[in-house]
Amino acid sequence: MTTLLQVDNLTKKYVNNNVVDAVSFELEEHTATALIGPNGAGKTTTLSMLAGLVSATSGALQFQGDAKQDIRSIIGFLPQYPKFFPWLSALEFTEMAARLSGVETKQATMDAKKTLEFVGLGDAVNKKTGTFSGGMKQRLGLAQAIVHKPKLLLLDEPVSALDPVGRRQVMDLLKELQQKTTILYSTHILNDAEEMTDQLLFLRQGKLVEHGSLDEVRTRYAEPRIVIEFEGEQELRRFTEVTKWQMTSKGLIVSIDIRSEKVEMSSVLSVLSVGKFLVRKVEWQTASLEDIFMKVAVV
Amino acid sequence: MNGLTVLVQKEWREHTRNFKMLWIPLVFIIFGIMEPVTNHFLPEIMKSVGNMPEGAEFLWPELKGEEIFLSLLGQYQTIGILVIILAFMGTISGERKNGTATLLYVRPMSFLNYFLSKWIVVNGIVLGSVWLGFMAAWYYIEILFNHVDAGEIVAFVATYSLWLVFVVTVVLALSAWLPTGGAAGLAILITLVYQVIDSLIGTYWTVSPWKLSVYASYWFKADSELTNLWMSSGLTVILIVILIVFGVVMSKRNAAKTTV
């Protein structure tokens, strides 16, 4: 894998407040990285610095390739709430975005049409952006971000403002794009991060507090347990009397900590079978990304 | 250069579609027509609706075409400039505030092209409107008053145009620097209020952009001494260049303030 971007000690200070505090990470080519953190963690500021909108107080960004080139030409940026000139049509806006990124006029028109088709706005190319719904604006935002075929796509909460249907459609588009480009996106919708990520970056109060692949982070914070749901209270009581495993119970559900008890699923199933316990569900569980988020990203 | 063309095209589309390209020329043309027409028919108007006492006679001064041009310039100096400020005060600050600038600033465009595109199109609208206004006035002056030499009118309008380019540059540079309200307030102070100050205590200096509108009238007077006009024009051009540089620097510095 080739490193596309190396970020070293990126810092943004406003008066005495470090909004982004010495953040360092690398982005490999053709990977998707999720920037996770609660509101105010510094996600948008980090993306804005990478997009060239906000200058960093200190730190360095090193892009692969010609050091003299304007990095904005290889970046596509989608803000959380993209705003368009309402008097321009979708095609005019996307074409303008391509031309400003250095694409020749004729090519820009062709690319703009193709890109709008790709994001599902093929029927609305000549509609004024002022008449667009939230979902259409998000798609147009995506179109203007990818029309010049950027090497790095920066997306700020790309689906948080969408309804479930729009969210699904945009996520599918992003997964398709993942094959062609490198994606760094911020989100606090953890399902999205689980769905499309090669690397997770957890930000808290401007600091990078955890990073790694989904599996690495999960292993680090894993709390494997076997969860059993019984038919009734009597069954649950009988089970706790028969076994000596340390467990926690809530209602009709008991949870056995696998690491401390060194229990395997087979032995649990064997006990349940021999004792003819009436159960509704037996399940192996580990920490969800939400559990990890609560531990890592929230103070 | 390609960036400049794209941005000029964008500005052109914006002002066409929000009808500034239509209503601003209309305002200036209406003033251009009203000035000669009302001045010519003023005695009749006063006679019929002026509520003057029976038998009263009022000796109306005989106005010349050149004076009508100067009177129209007076209208443009107040209402015209106010229209320019109000129409274009949010040209840059407005884009920053509503977030539409964000998707431009993340492109590899130069802020010089960004500022110049606005400067070119706004000046085009303003100068086009004022020229059309003066042409409308000229037409009625020729019919209702006397013939005015075309060379004198061209020189008069050209001198006044330089002052208007200065006004437009002030408005755009302030819009790049301040939020819309602040830009409007300061632009009114610099262009309208300072005009009054300059006319009151400006006898101590003769070279000033604020005196260009007065110097423009020199073209209608034979044997006028034009040294101060040329020096004021030179100073205005220098100030315009400085203001453009300031506007470009401020556009770039304030790019981070755009709504993301």
Average pLDDT of every residue of chain B = 94
Tell me the domain boundaries of chain B.
Answer: 2-257
Q: Show residues of chain A in contact with B2, CB under 8 Å.
A: 99, 102
B105 touches chain A (CB under 8 A): yes
For residues B31 and A167, give the distance between their C-alpha atoms in angstroms, rounded to a whole number. 55
Q: Which residues 209-268 on chain A approach chain B with CB closer than 8 angstroms?
A: none
Pair A148, A103: CB distance under 8 Å: yes
> Tell me, what's the pLDDT at B154?
97
d(CA A245, CA B122): 80
* pLDDT reading at B90 higher than 80: yes
Asked if the Cβ–Cβ distance from B102 to A83 is below 8 Å, we say yes
Q: Is the pLDDT of residue A262 over 90?
A: no
A144 within 8 A of A129, measured Cβ to Cβ: no
Break chain A into its structural domains and give their ranges. Answer: 3-220, 225-286
Q: Where are the beta strands (DSSP E) in chain B?
A: none
Q: Within a 13 Å sphere around the CA of A263, how many CA atoms are in the beta-carbon half?
A: 22
Mean pLDDT, rounded, of chain A: 91
pLDDT digits (tens, 9 = 90+) for A192-203: 888 889 999 999
The percent of residues in chain A predicted with pLDDT above 90, rounded, is 63
Which helix (H) or strand (E) segment is A283 a member of?
Answer: strand A279-285
* pLDDT on residue B1: 61
Residue B94 has pLDDT above 70, yes or no: yes
Measured distance CA(A201)–CA(A195) in Å, rounded: 15
Q: What confidence tens digit (pLDDT) does each residue in A49-84 have?
A: 999 999 999 999 998 877 777 888 899 999 999 999
Strand order of the β-sheet with A152-156 is A75-78, A152-156, A182-187, A32-36, A199-204, A207-212
Q: How many alpha carbons fall within 13 Å on the CB side of residue A11?
A: 12
What is the DSSP secondary structure assignment for residue B182, as one 8-state letter? H
Predicted confidence (pLDDT) per residue in B232-243, tens digit? 999 999 999 999
Sequence-distant (6+) residues with CB within 8 A of B197 are: none
pTM comes to 0.88
pLDDT of residue A278: 93
Record: contact A53-B260, CB cut-off 8 A: yes
For residue B185, give both structure tokens: 């307030």
Residues of A within 8 A of B104 (CB-CB) are 100
Residue B150, Cβ neighbours under 10 Å: how many?
A: 9
Please answer whether residues A3 and A151 qualify as being in contact, where contact means their C-beta atoms are separated by less than 8 angstroms.
no
Residues from chain B that touch A51, judged by Cβ atoms under 8 A, are: 106
Q: Average pLDDT in the B202-213 region?
A: 90
Question: Which structure tokens are listed for A27?
Answer: 């982005």
User: Which residue of chain A has the CA closest to B113?
Assistant: A100
Question: What pLDDT is recorded for position B45?
Answer: 84
Asked if domains A3-220 and A225-286 share a fold, the reply is no
Query: Mind telling me how many Å the CA of B88 is from chain A's nearest CA?
Result: 16
The mean pLDDT value for B166-180 works out to 97
Q: Does B83 touch chain A (CB under 8 A)?
A: no
User: How high is the pLDDT of residue A299?
Assistant: 62
pLDDT (average), residues A207-220: 90
Instruction: Fill in the DSSP letter of residue A271.
Output: H
Cβ of B110 under 8 Å from any chain A Cβ? no
- Give per-residue burial for B164-187: e unless 16+ CB within 10 Å, then b: bbbbbbbbbbbbbbbbbeebbebb
- What are the pLDDT digits (tens) for A122-150? 999 999 999 999 889 999 999 999 999 99
CA A122, CA A135: separation in Å to the nearest integer? 14
Q: What is the DSSP secondary-structure string of B74-120?
A: HHIIIIIHHHHHHHHTTTTHHHHHHSTTHHHHTSS--HHHHHHHHHH
Nearest CA in chain B to A55: B256
Q: Any CB–CB contact under 8 A between B2 and chain A?
A: yes
- Please choose, from the candidates B100, B91, B102, B115, the residue with its C-alpha nearest in 3D space to the C-alpha of residue B4: B115
How near does any CA of chain A get to the CA of B187, in Å? 26
Quote the ipTM score.
0.89
CB contact under 8 A, B10 and A55: no
- pLDDT exceeds 90 at position A108: yes
Question: In this complex, which of A72, A84, A141 lies closest to B100 when CB atoms are compared?
Answer: A84
Please check whether residue A47 is in contact with residue A35, taking contact to mean a CB–CB distance below 8 angstroms. yes
Using CA coordinates, name the residue in chain B closest to A93.
B10
CATH of domain A3-220: 3.40.50.300
CATH match of A225-286 with 2.40.50: no
Q: What is the mean pLDDT of residues B13-35?
A: 97
What local confidence, expressed as pLDDT, does residue A218 receive?
Answer: 84
pLDDT digits (tens, 9 = 90+) for B124-167: 999 999 999 999 999 999 999 999 999 999 999 999 999 999 99
- Position A13 confidence tier, pLDDT thresholds 50, 70, 90: very high
Nearest to A221 by CA among A203, A208, A209, A205: A209
All residues of chain A having their beta carbon less than 8 Å from the beta carbon of residue B109 are 100
| Residues B186-209, mean pLDDT to the nearest whole number | 90
Nearest CA distance, B241 vs chain A (angstrom): 25
Question: What is the length of chain A?
Answer: 299
